């Protein structure tokens, strides 16, 4: 007798090696056109499926989860963040949720440093000058940016990525300040200066790197009042989640000159980002590419599959189970 393979819906077009393993081990419903699902179409596409392999931005809110067919037993998200999945609603339906921690730390920290350097050294303006044939040669005052070496870096959220960002910044002899829910052990702190109150950290930040998760507490945390506490000429970097920043406040500070520049890889409402960013020469913008290396995206996919295989094939608890908040 042939045992039926569990059916898994892939909501996005995932890397080839990931889809090959998905297809080998499951009855896979793929999305080769990488079309974007809204809630109703996602629920419809998951008809008869045991699991869903989704990604950041998929609308797995309470309404969508309520509409999922009874067959769905697990949602594995191809991401560390899981704010796009209503974990509480899933728990009420007895649907397990997993994520992919640990595998994208270095790639995202690399992009955070790229955003910091790109913003500080006016990389966008320089590249645009070349590509539009506006560069007429070197001059003593051309594209003078902000010095990085030896400056103060404040990190909001000192988890794995925040710590990796700090390690990179130490190569530039930056003094590290950080704020986190809990102070790190001495061996992980590595001389960084802890601020129990994140607002007290802000005046000490020549650069502010946002590495905090998106929660109800951090939603639009970087607002006009807190930006005003940063030193004039500071640089803001965001590679966490766009919703941690109040776009109107950040754009106003960049226009006024209170902030020298910003380096941003994530946006609230992406890909439909705030129109005000497009006209800012002092914003170094990237299209959410923090984890975009072949090695990292494969590792994310394989971790999502580890979780799906543990539960749907082996009847074991997923190793990266996300639990609903009490």
Res 214: pLDDT: 87
Going by C-alpha positions, the residue among 80, 127, 69, 70 that lies closest to residue 286 is 127
Res 58: pLDDT: 96
Res 1: pLDDT: 40
Tokens standing for residue 54: 């989704």
Q: Predicted confidence band at 177 (pLDDT cuts at 50, 70, 90)?
A: very high
**Is the alpha carbon torsion for 70, 74, 76, 81 positive or negative?**
positive
With H, G, I as helix, E, B as strand and everything else as coil, classify residue 264: strand
Mean pLDDT of the chain: 96
Q: Predicted confidence band at 35 (pLDDT cuts at 50, 70, 90)?
A: very high
Segment 107-157, tens digit of pLDDT: 999 999 999 999 999 999 999 999 999 999 999 999 999 999 999 999 999
Q: How far apart are CA 212 and CA 210, in angstroms?
A: 6
Phi, psi of 124 (to 5 degrees): -60, -45
Res 20: pLDDT: 98
CATH architecture group of domain 7-103+294-322: 3-Layer(aba) Sandwich (3.40)
Res 325: pLDDT: 74
Residue ranges with strand state E in the chain = 7-10, 27-29, 51-55, 74-78, 96-98, 152-156, 175-179, 193-194, 207-210, 234-238, 259-264, 283-285, 321-322
Q: How far apart are CA 258 and CA 227, in angstroms?
A: 8
Res 281: pLDDT: 96
Res 324: pLDDT: 84
Provide the b/e sequence for 9-27 (b: ≥16 CB within 10 Å): bbbbebbeebbebbeebbe
Domain at 105-285: CATH code: 3.40.50.720
Tokens standing for residue 300: 């994310």
Segment 268-301, tens digit of pLDDT: 999 999 999 999 999 999 999 999 999 999 999 9
Cα–Cα distances in Å, from 56 out to 60, 99, 123, 271?
10, 10, 28, 12
Res 240: pLDDT: 95
Quick check: 28 and 50 in contact, CB under 8 A?
no
Res 5: pLDDT: 95
Reply yes or no on whether the pLDDT at 81 is more than 90. Answer: no
Q: Where are the domains of the chain?
A: 7-103+294-322, 105-285
**Percent of the chain scored above 90 by pLDDT?**
94
Res 61: pLDDT: 97
Reply yes or no on whether the pLDDT at 85 is more than 80. Answer: yes
Q: Do domains 7-103+294-322 and 105-285 have the same CATH topology?
A: yes
Segment 200-214, tens digit of pLDDT: 999 999 999 999 998
Res 169: pLDDT: 98
Element (H or E) spanning 23, and its range? helix 16-25
Res 259: pLDDT: 98
Q: Which residues are catalytic?
A: 241, 270, 288
Q: How far apart are CA 323 and CA 145, in angstroms?
A: 45
């Amino acid at each position: 007798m042939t045992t039926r393979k569990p059916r898994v819906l892939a909501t996005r077009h995932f890397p080839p090696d990931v889809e090959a393993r998905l297809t080998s081990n499951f009855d896979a419903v793929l999305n080769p056109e990488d079309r974007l699902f809204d809630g109703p179409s996602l629920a419809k596409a998951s008809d008869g499926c045991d699991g869903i392999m989704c990604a950041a931005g998929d609308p797995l809110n309470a309404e969508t989860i309520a509409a999922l067919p009874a067959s769905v037993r697990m949602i594995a998200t191809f991401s560390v963040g899981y704010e796009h999945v209503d974990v509480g609603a899933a728990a009420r339906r007895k649907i397990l949720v997993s994520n992919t921690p640990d595998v994208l730390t270095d790639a995202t920290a690399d992009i955070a440093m790229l955003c910091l350097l790109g913003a500080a050294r006016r990389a966008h303006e320089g590249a645009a000058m070349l590509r539009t044939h506006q560069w007429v040669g070197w001059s003593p005052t051309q594209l003078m940016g902000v010095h990085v070496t030896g400056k103060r870096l404040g990190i909001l959220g000192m988890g794995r990525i925040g710590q990796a960002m700090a390690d990179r910044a130490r190569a530039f002899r930056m003094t590290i300040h950080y704020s986190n829910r809990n102070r790190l052990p001495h061996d992980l702190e590595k001389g960084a200066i802890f601020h129990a109150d994140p607002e007290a950290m802000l005046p000490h930040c020549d650069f502010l790197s946002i590495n905090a998760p998106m929660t109800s507490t951090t939603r639009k945390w970087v607002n006009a009042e807190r930006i005003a506490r940063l030193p004039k000429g500071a640089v803001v970097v965001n590679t966490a989640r766009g919703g941690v920043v109040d776009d109107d406040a950040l754009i106003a500070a960049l226009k006024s000159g209170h902030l020298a520049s910003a380096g941003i890889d994530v946006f609230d409402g992406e890909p439909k980002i705030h129109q005000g960013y497009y006209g800012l020469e002092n914003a170094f913008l990237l299209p959410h590419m923090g984890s975009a290396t072949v090695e990292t995206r494969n590792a994310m996919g394989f971790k999502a599959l580890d979780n799906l295989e543990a539960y749907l094939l082996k009847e074991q608890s997923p190793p990266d189970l996300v639990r609903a908040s009490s």
